[in-house]
Structure 1
Amino acid sequence: MSAPDAITSPQNPRIKNLLRLQQKSSERRSQGLTIIEGLRELTIARANGIEVPTVFVCAELAGPAHEAELRALFAGSGTEWVEVSKAVFGKVAYREGSDGVLALARPPQHTLESLVLPENPLLLVLEAVEKPGNLGAILRTADAARATAVIVCDPRTDLFNPNAIRSSIGCSFTVPTVATSRPELLAWCAARGIRTYAAALTEAAVPYTSCDFRGPTALVMGTEADGLTPELMAACDQTIIIPMQGYIDSLNVSTATAILTFEAVRQRGA
């Protein structure tokens, strides 16, 4: 049973706003908010300094243990606590088997100039990424490899799409993620001596295992449908391939990114 002051109508203005934020990137941009669902993801977000103005909780789904953990997580933070009925939560939840926790969060605003680079940065560059699931999976790889940042050129999805956050299992908040343009990226890399490796099937491409990724490195990946644009491919220092032994000539972009990233990690002796 819901608490007496819980939101029980899907027509409630706050619930309608949650749905708008889920469905429209323009709303997320204009309000400066995104949505995080799940206690694990929220815990990671909080550990990385993400501001969470409001948390919506369905006590029936969360259960006493999760609710107590959630209250401890936000103790003294000033976060607003809003209870909702199970029926209403079912309208706003965007994944199966939800644990009854959903929050509004202010995503970080990273830029190329704000990135703090180590001596030998390892950057993952994605051009025109459009599938939030791929972005989320690559963010998980970046987190696991302790990559310096993920940089997205001319993105076709916003970096903090709720589905990207879900796919990343919260790694959207552990790895600095920047949206920029192709010219800005290339100029920024050149100014910092970062060597760019474009994953592309060309005559000039060399196997990734023959490359030296121990210095400042940017691994540049295209979309699954179209690959890299000719302009970005031509501007990179080297094109590389993952040799294929079977019938197919390509891999899922998140899988390919993971292979290249962990080769760089191996070479760096991490």
Structure 2
Amino acid sequence: MIGKNSRHVKEAVKLKQKKYRELQNKYIIEGIRFIEEGIKSSKVHYILYSSKLFKTSGYERILNTPCPAFEVSDDIISILADTENPQGAVAVAEKNLYTLKDIKNKFIVVLDEIQDPGNMGTIIRTADAAGAGGLIVIKGSADVYSSKALRATMGSIFHIPIVFYDNFKEASFELKNNDYRLYSTSPEAKKYLYDCNFKDNTAIVIGNEARGMSKDDIELCHEKIKIPMIGKAESLNAAVACSVIIYEVVRQRLTT
């Protein structure tokens, strides 16, 4: 058993802070299923577990692997885990570092200052499920590697490329240079998403939950689109709206 002064525990504690995650290009994951996905993706550096893990079904799937594992106390797991009743295991994983060239399927979701980590994780999971080529996250958005965002991805963080840009202008410039057509979402748009052709290189841009996209950013897109709102609700949750659009892209691409 290793204690709180071991280098592995010290590193894991530091990685609870965003600045260290960015500095080290590592982050913390927790739970058997999540750790198992990380091991399959060869991204887990090591596992920290306590005796509590042995009370959870499936623990052997993460311990009976070549991945280094170190036993710690329940108290240390409580410090490192963010769930109310942790399963008894956390792991330190390595970030994937991608560029736009790594995205092969020419369908991208761009997140322009999405603030809620739950929305962030849900959109990542949906994009993965729909077979999108990747995502672009603009600076000022929620931290992809925060515990809440990671939990919402349900392991999709390991399956889909995510590229980070400092601003939307830079991202839009590169997308256009790679022949993508950019679609901004706006309730003021005159065109419904069903009237668009998403079969070519497509980038769907989702703006901030409260403010939407800035006027300048909207002007950088080729078209403004909207989702029909037939009932009395004025808007949809950002992750829900994004899912509706993502699956319209999928529907069109499955239709010959």
TM-score, reference length from structure 1: 0.86
Q: Quick one: distance in 1 between partners of 2:193 and 2:226?
A: 6
- 8 Å CA contact 1:205–1:238 kept in 2: the answer is no
Q: 1:37 aligns with which of 15, 30, 45?
A: 30
2:143 corresponds to? 158
Confirm or deny that 1:83 pairs with 2:77: no
* TM-superposed deviation, 1:165: 1.4
Q: 1:193 aligns with which of 152, 157, 179?
A: 179
List per-residue Cα deviations over 1:175-231 (Å, max 9, x = no partner).
Answer: 1011112122111121122111111122x4311111111111111100111111111
Q: Quick one: distance in 1 between partners of 2:103 and 2:141?
A: 26
Backbone CA RMSD of aligned residues = 2.0
229-238 or 61-70: bigger deviation: 61-70
Aligned amino acid, residue 100 of structure 1: G
Instruction: Count matched residues.
Output: 254
2:221 corresponds to? 236
- 8 Å CA contact 1:61–1:86 kept in 2: the answer is no
Q: 1:265 aligns with which of 233, 250, 254?
A: 250
- Structure 2 unpaired stretches of 5+: none
Q: 1:223 aligns with which of 176, 193, 208?
A: 208
1:100 corresponds to? 88
Aligned amino acid, residue 91 of structure 1: I
Residue 104 of structure 1: SS of its match in structure 2? strand
Q: Quick one: distance in 2 between partners of 1:146 and 1:256?
A: 17
Q: Quick one: distance in 2 between partners of 1:126 and 1:216?
A: 17
Q: Quick one: distance in 2 between partners of 1:223 and 1:94?
A: 26
Q: What percent of counterpart residues are identical?
A: 28
Q: Quick one: distance in 2 between partners of 1:62 and 1:147?
A: 37
Within a 5 Å distance, the mapping from 1:42-191 to structure 2 comes to 42-50=35-43, 52-63=44-55, 66-72=58-64, 74-75=65-66, 79-112=67-100, 114-118=101-105, 121-180=106-165, 181-191=167-177
Residue 59 of structure 2: SS of its match in structure 1? helix
